[in-house]
Structure 1
Amino acid sequence: MHLATLLMIILAAGLASQWLAWQIRLPAIVILIASGLLLGPVTGLIDIAMPPEELTELIGLGVAIILFEGGMDLKLGEFRRVGHGITRLTTLGPLLAWLLGALAGHFVAGLTWPVAIVLGAILVVTGPTVILPLLRQARLNKESASLLKWEGIVNDPAGVLLAVLAFQYFTVSGEDWGTVFLSLGKAIAVAGLLGGLGGWLTGWFYRRGAVPTHLKPPMLMVLVLAAYWASNQVQHEAGLLTVTVMGLVLGNMQLAEREPLRHFKENLTVVLLSVLFIVIPTQLDASHLQAISPSSLLFVAVVLVAVRPLTILTATIGAPMRWQDKVLMAWIAPRGIVAAATASIFGPALVEAGYPEAQILMPLVFLVILATVIIHGLTLAPLARRLDLAAREENGLLIVGANDWTRALANELKELEVDVLVADGSWYRLKPVRMDGIRTYYGEVLSEHAEHELEDEHLSYLLCATDNDYYNALVCKALGGEFGHHRTFQLAPPRESSDEQRRLTLQQRGYFAFEPPIDAYSLNHRLREGWSIQSIRLSDIFDMDRLAEELGQPGEDWVLIGSVSPQGQFSLYSRDHSFNPDKDWLLVYFASNS
């Protein structure tokens, strides 16, 4: 098969698997691995005619980009809030997981000590490639999510480095501890130099305009790959630690281009994950699958119910963490792309070094990946809700801007048992809202404080309703990715319909709520004239058409705000989106009391 055809099949299968996983609400890695197994060992459609060493090097480049992107997501502000737990999880945690995993590999899976010790190190990793999508699905509170995210991203290179050192000890250095400690020192030094200093210098040059804006994202990708390659020349597999440190440094610098750079990496990561999780399973063949035995399945069970819980509970003894977080983390530890890639590297290498039982390394790791991703992916959200660590189902409204009209809307939604939260930077504007018993957030919604403290995971819509149209647009664009741009709305500017040339384009703002030209001034003015927020239930006799007949011209005589379905699901109305409430739906509208 031609290389171009093969590449197109891999890309199409990978992205189709991602889309299917989103549709059926399963972790994407499950569908990707299944697709890889189907296209590789089962049907033989994908056969990559490339030496294993070269394929491994290409896989390593993809993993480097993924880990760098994960490092950019780590915020030092999160560490300051939950550092007491993160420190234990990223220092004691990897060592305990390594020890217990090696014991399970030897006594349960029946592996020799060298292979068991390398396997234990590989299974230290939990992986941002799996953790981050699961966190988005589960809507954990921000402190619990930070613990899982930091552990996953930091422990990935730690586990790889432990596997490298164990491999070198048994195969290269002739079981010489001096060589092992020298290798560890070299890995840390090169990560600090190329990752830490290199990342800071990159940010320093970017700040000063030494690189044009359109070249910054692609040039950063090349610099990351160069740092990864150079680190590996100094110390085998030190590159993953380097790129993680580099991402952490750049992600916490005050760069004006931080968000565009991060979005570029996120998009690239989606494609890389789609490709890697298709390619790696294709390397399994019938001999690998035949090597799986009952002891292998027992080993996976021990990893799930003994190794992980003992690791977390021991590492966090005396740590000032909530017991609910300890229980959650003792259960949740899905493995991802780094574990798979590392196993594909060291399995064949150990076989060549004289450890034939290492041929089971890759299928064992894939078993652990499949088991943890499926089981933890399906149980994370229910367990988090049971422990009161997760938001309820998405249903509610975040209102940015406290004024008389938004206060009236919030009170009506509260009466209808719809979750509502009002955010504003003025303590005095929020005071009457707080007095009504409505949840509020005092502060700037775009601040770092809000990123850590504003609990909005359970809310489904955003309405920016301040009297500053450009601020409304800024908030909509900043939070559109979190809520979904189709659920991100702002009030229209005055004279919107008659001043087409002066308005912001849709790419620069949110969708307009209600019927333009409804703006903040007109809503508050009508409220003072005696209008009020009202609700009515539709029926077979009294439907939308009948309501419109009674109330008059939409936007002039009344304003449709939204609806609440019979199941209690809130929807905000916009002329830009279809809106078809039916019998037994509650309509929320703004009209005169007369």
Structure 2
Amino acid sequence: MNSAALLLTILFAGLASQWFAWRVRLPAIVVLIAAGLAFGPVTGLIKLDLPPHDLSELIGLGVAIILFEGGMDLKLEDLRRAGKGIGRLTLLGPPLAWLLGSFAAHHIAGLSWPVSWVLGAILVVTGPTVIMPLLRQVSLNKESASLLKWEGIVNDPIGVLLAVLAFQYFTIAGSGMAETAAGVGLALAVMIVLGGGGGWLTGWVYQRGLVPEHLKAPLLLVLVLFVYSASNMVQHEAGLLSVTAMGLILGNMKLVDREDLMRFKENLTVILLSVLFIVIPSQLDRQLAYLIDFRMILFVLAVLLVVRPLTIMLATIGAPMRMADRKLLSWIAPRGIVAAATAGIFGPALVAAGYPDGEKLLLIVFLVIITTVLAHGLTIGRLSRHLGLAAKHANGLLIVGASPWTNALAKALKDQDVEVLLVDGAYHRLKPARMEGIDIYYGEILSEHAEHTLETLHLNHLLAATDNDFYNALVCKAMGRSFGHHRTFQLATHQESSHEPKRLTLQRRGHIAFNADADFEKLTQLLKDGWKIQTSVLSKAYTFAKLKQRFGKPGADWLIVAAVTPDGNFRLYSSEQTFTAEPGWNVFYFAPEDKREGKALARDSVKVPATEAALHRP
């Protein structure tokens, strides 16, 4: 297979595995490793003719970008939210995990002490590339999610550094405690100067417009790789520490284009993860499978059931953390790409240094990765709900903009047990909703405070319903990534701006809710004219078609607002995303109150309100 075909095969296998994992709701890393084994040792389709050192260098570049992206995602506000527990997890946790893991590797797995110390250091990492998808899967509350996220991203480079120091201590002549301590100090200095300083200088240059917009993302990619390589030249494997610090500094600077840079890095990270998790397992020798024995299996169980719980409980003694968070952390610690890549580097190096059991290193790490990802990925949801740390099932509506109409909608939803949250920056507009017992948030939805404190994981639809069309569009675009653009809606634009040449395009707004004529003014006026938000439960006898026949033309004589399926799923209606309600659905609609009593609207006998007639206006 030529180089181009090999690259396409790796890319296709990786991205197809990611898609398949999403479809069947499995942790992506498990499917990726299985695909890598299938394309590598099993079939031999993927075979890289690269020297081990060159392959390790390329893998290191990919891991550097992944850790930088994780560092950019860390907010200091999250650190303050998580409290002192983070300090315990990142200062006391790694040495405790290293010590306990190394002892288990020697006494249970039967490895020599040098290989055990390296393995114990590698297993300090907790895989942010695996934790992030798990957090999205179970919708943890922000405090618990911050603990797992910070621990995973900060401990990854620490674990790599410990592995480097252990490897140097046992394999480089003349190494001792003084040299090891000097190595740690030098790595920290490199992290501060190249990583922290490089991140700050990059942000300073970007803030002052010294780099054109189209070059910012690609230039940042090159700078990250430069900092990584330069740091490794000064101190071996200090590069991962530096790029993590660089991402942390840059991510917390006030960059206008931070979101664009993050989106570029996230897309690149998905591709890199797909490639790395195909390439690394594909290089395993199928003969290694015969090395798996009972002691390895016992070691993996010890890592899950003894080393991790004991590390967390000892590290957090006296910390101001909830016991529920300590229990969750004691179980959730999936390993990911950094552990695999590090083991792929040091396994062959240990064998070359005279430690033959180093060939078991990568095999054991893969066993830990597969076991922890499966065990933790399949249980985190149930455990977090049992501990009371998971947000409610995402099934409700976030309404931005308090008004008489949105207050009426929120009350109707609440009366039918649909989760709803009403947000506005003016407290007096929220007062009626608060008096009705509706959940409210007083503040700007786009503020940093809302980003860090507002819990919306239990909601899956957004409705921007202020009287400002362009603000509604801004909210929809800003929140579209978290809710999904297909679940982000805004009220129809005013008639003055709704003509096709002047209308906001779909790429710059949310989907239009309800009907293209149902703008803020009309909904408010119809409410004054006596229209109410009402509900009807459909049945086989009383179908959606009969509901339409009873009330007349949807969008003109009445408005379909939303529906709740028999299994409790909430759906907001839009003429751009229609649905057909089935028997058992509870349909919410906006109509004159007399229609609820079954009175037919006869246009020749009932005077049509002026505002209703206005709905027909082109």
Give the aligned partner of residue 520 of structure 2: 520
Verify: 1:242 aligned to 2:242, yes or no.
Answer: yes
Give the aligned partner of residue 53 of structure 1: 53
Give the Cα–Cα distance (whole angstroms) in 2 for the partners of residues 434 and 317 of structure 1.
Answer: 41
Choose 1 or 2 for highest CA Rg: 2
Structural mapping, 1:214-233, within 5 Å: 214-233=214-233
Is the 8 Å Cα contact of residues 497 and 517 (structure 1) preserved in structure 2?
Answer: no
Secondary structure class of the residue paired with 1:576: coil
Is the 8 Å Cα contact of residues 497 and 503 (structure 2) preserved in structure 1?
Answer: no
The alpha-carbon deviation at position 541 of structure 1 amounts to 2.7
The alpha-carbon deviation at position 286 of structure 1 amounts to 2.1
Give the aligned partner of residue 271 of structure 1: 271
The one-character-per-residue Cα deviations of 1:71-127 (angstroms, maximum 9, x if unpaired) are: 000000111121311000000000100000001001000111111011000000002
Give the Cα–Cα distance (whole angstroms) in 2 for the partners of residues 585 and 323 of structure 1.
Answer: 41
Is the 8 Å Cα contact of residues 402 and 422 (structure 1) preserved in structure 2?
Answer: yes
The alpha-carbon deviation at position 545 of structure 1 amounts to 2.1
Verify: 1:183 aligned to 2:183, yes or no.
Answer: yes
Residue identity matched to 2:94: P
Is the 8 Å Cα contact of residues 497 and 516 (structure 1) preserved in structure 2?
Answer: no
The alpha-carbon deviation at position 173 of structure 1 amounts to 4.3
Give the Cα–Cα distance (whole angstroms) in 2 for the partners of residues 470 and 200 of structure 1.
Answer: 34
Alpha-carbon RMSD across the aligned residues, in angstroms, is 1.0
Cα gap change, 1:268 to 1:187, in 2 (>3 Å): same
Give the Cα–Cα distance (whole angstroms) in 1 for the partners of residues 447 and 87 of structure 2.
Answer: 25
Give the Cα–Cα distance (whole angstroms) in 2 for the partners of residues 346 and 203 of structure 1.
Answer: 35
Give the aligned partner of residue 252 of structure 2: 252
Structural mapping, 1:14-29, within 5 Å: 14-29=14-29
Mean CA deviation greater in 269-278 or 563-572: 563-572
Give the aligned partner of residue 574 of structure 1: 574
Give the Cα–Cα distance (whole angstroms) in 2 for the partners of residues 488 and 173 of structure 1.
Answer: 62
Is the 8 Å Cα contact of residues 109 and 296 (structure 1) preserved in structure 2?
Answer: yes
Give the aligned partner of residue 547 of structure 1: 547
Verify: 1:139 aligned to 2:166, yes or no.
Answer: no
Give the Cα–Cα distance (whole angstroms) in 2 for the partners of residues 498 and 82 of structure 1.
Answer: 46
User: Taking structure 2 as the reference length, what is the TM-score of the superposition?
Assistant: 0.95
The alpha-carbon deviation at position 144 of structure 1 amounts to 0.3
Give the Cα–Cα distance (whole angstroms) in 1 for the partners of residues 308 and 392 of structure 2.
Answer: 27
Give the aligned partner of residue 436 of structure 2: 436
Give the aligned partner of residue 102 of structure 2: 102
Is the 8 Å Cα contact of residues 460 and 483 (structure 1) preserved in structure 2?
Answer: yes
Give the aligned partner of residue 66 of structure 1: 66
Give the aligned partner of residue 328 of structure 2: 328
The alpha-carbon deviation at position 526 of structure 1 amounts to 0.7
Give the aligned partner of residue 605 of structure 2: none
Give the aligned partner of residue 372 of structure 2: 372
The one-character-per-residue Cα deviations of 1:315-367 (angstroms, maximum 9, x if unpaired) are: 00000001100000000000000000000000000110010011100000000
The alpha-carbon deviation at position 496 of structure 1 amounts to 6.9
Is the 8 Å Cα contact of residues 106 and 116 (structure 2) preserved in structure 1?
Answer: yes
The alpha-carbon deviation at position 527 of structure 1 amounts to 0.6
The alpha-carbon deviation at position 521 of structure 1 amounts to 1.2
Structural mapping, 1:25-40, within 5 Å: 25-40=25-40
Is the 8 Å Cα contact of residues 173 and 180 (structure 1) preserved in structure 2?
Answer: no
Give the aligned partner of residue 556 of structure 1: 556
Give the aligned partner of residue 453 of structure 2: 453
Give the aligned partner of residue 159 of structure 2: 159
Give the Cα–Cα distance (whole angstroms) in 2 for the partners of residues 383 and 444 of structure 1.
Answer: 34
Give the aligned partner of residue 401 of structure 2: 401
Give the Cα–Cα distance (whole angstroms) in 2 for the partners of residues 155 and 389 of structure 1.
Answer: 23
Residue identity matched to 2:445: V
User: Taking structure 1 as the reference length, what is the TM-score of the superposition?
Assistant: 0.99
The one-character-per-residue Cα deviations of 1:297-316 (angstroms, maximum 9, x if unpaired) are: 00000000000000000000
Give the Cα–Cα distance (whole angstroms) in 1 for the partners of residues 500 and 383 of structure 2.
Answer: 50
Cα gap change, 1:529 to 1:108, in 2 (>3 Å): same
Verify: 1:314 aligned to 2:336, yes or no.
Answer: no
Is the 8 Å Cα contact of residues 173 and 179 (structure 1) preserved in structure 2?
Answer: no
Is the 8 Å Cα contact of residues 465 and 490 (structure 1) preserved in structure 2?
Answer: yes
Is the 8 Å Cα contact of residues 396 and 461 (structure 1) preserved in structure 2?
Answer: yes
Unmatched segments (≥5 aa) in structure 1? none
Give the aligned partner of residue 193 of structure 1: 193
Count of aligned pairs between the two proteins: 594
Give the aligned partner of residue 510 of structure 2: 510
The alpha-carbon deviation at position 498 of structure 1 amounts to 5.0
Verify: 1:489 aligned to 2:489, yes or no.
Answer: yes
How high is the sequence identity, in percent, across the aligned residues? Answer: 64
Mean CA deviation greater in 347-356 or 422-431: 422-431
In the TM superposition, structure 1's runs of 4+ consecutive aligned residues that sit over 4 Å from their partners are none
Give the aligned partner of residue 412 of structure 1: 412
Mean CA deviation greater in 251-260 or 468-477: 468-477
Secondary structure class of the residue paired with 1:571: strand
Verify: 1:423 aligned to 2:417, yes or no.
Answer: no
Give the Cα–Cα distance (whole angstroms) in 2 for the partners of residues 81 and 92 of structure 1.
Answer: 19
Give the aligned partner of residue 606 of structure 2: none
The one-character-per-residue Cα deviations of 1:523-543 (angstroms, maximum 9, x if unpaired) are: 111111111000011122322
The alpha-carbon deviation at position 403 of structure 1 amounts to 0.9
Give the Cα–Cα distance (whole angstroms) in 2 for the partners of residues 213 and 256 of structure 1.
Answer: 11
Give the Cα–Cα distance (whole angstroms) in 2 for the partners of residues 119 and 308 of structure 1.
Answer: 14
The alpha-carbon deviation at position 436 of structure 1 amounts to 0.4
Residue identity matched to 2:355: Y
Give the Cα–Cα distance (whole angstroms) in 2 for the partners of residues 354 and 300 of structure 1.
Answer: 25
Give the Cα–Cα distance (whole angstroms) in 2 for the partners of residues 521 and 85 of structure 1.
Answer: 50
Is the 8 Å Cα contact of residues 496 and 516 (structure 1) preserved in structure 2?
Answer: no
Give the Cα–Cα distance (whole angstroms) in 2 for the partners of residues 175 and 100 of structure 1.
Answer: 23
Give the Cα–Cα distance (whole angstroms) in 2 for the partners of residues 341 and 128 of structure 1.
Answer: 14
The one-character-per-residue Cα deviations of 1:486-514 (angstroms, maximum 9, x if unpaired) are: 00000011117851111211111110100
Give the Cα–Cα distance (whole angstroms) in 2 for the partners of residues 419 and 83 of structure 1.
Answer: 29
Secondary structure class of the residue paired with 1:441: strand
The alpha-carbon deviation at position 288 of structure 1 amounts to 2.0
Is the 8 Å Cα contact of residues 83 and 320 (structure 2) preserved in structure 1?
Answer: no
The alpha-carbon deviation at position 191 of structure 1 amounts to 1.0
Verify: 1:387 aligned to 2:387, yes or no.
Answer: yes
Is the 8 Å Cα contact of residues 396 and 418 (structure 2) preserved in structure 1?
Answer: yes
Give the aligned partner of residue 601 of structure 2: none
Secondary structure class of the residue paired with 2:533: strand
Secondary structure class of the residue paired with 1:209: coil
Residue identity matched to 2:569: Q
Give the Cα–Cα distance (whole angstroms) in 1 for the partners of residues 450 and 177 of structure 2.
Answer: 48
Structural mapping, 1:206-217, within 5 Å: 206-217=206-217
The alpha-carbon deviation at position 568 of structure 1 amounts to 1.6
Mean CA deviation greater in 518-527 or 309-318: 518-527
Verify: 1:128 aligned to 2:128, yes or no.
Answer: yes
Give the Cα–Cα distance (whole angstroms) in 1 for the partners of residues 235 and 282 of structure 2.
Answer: 29
Unmatched segments (≥5 aa) in structure 2? 595-618
Give the Cα–Cα distance (whole angstroms) in 2 for the partners of residues 540 and 379 of structure 1.
Answer: 39
Give the Cα–Cα distance (whole angstroms) in 2 for the partners of residues 2 and 221 of structure 1.
Answer: 28
Residue identity matched to 1:46: I
Secondary structure class of the residue paired with 1:517: coil
Residue identity matched to 1:537: V
Give the Cα–Cα distance (whole angstroms) in 2 for the partners of residues 216 and 507 of structure 1.
Answer: 23
Cα gap change, 1:444 to 1:497, in 2 (>3 Å): closer
Give the Cα–Cα distance (whole angstroms) in 2 for the partners of residues 367 and 73 of structure 1.
Answer: 29
Secondary structure class of the residue paired with 1:560: strand
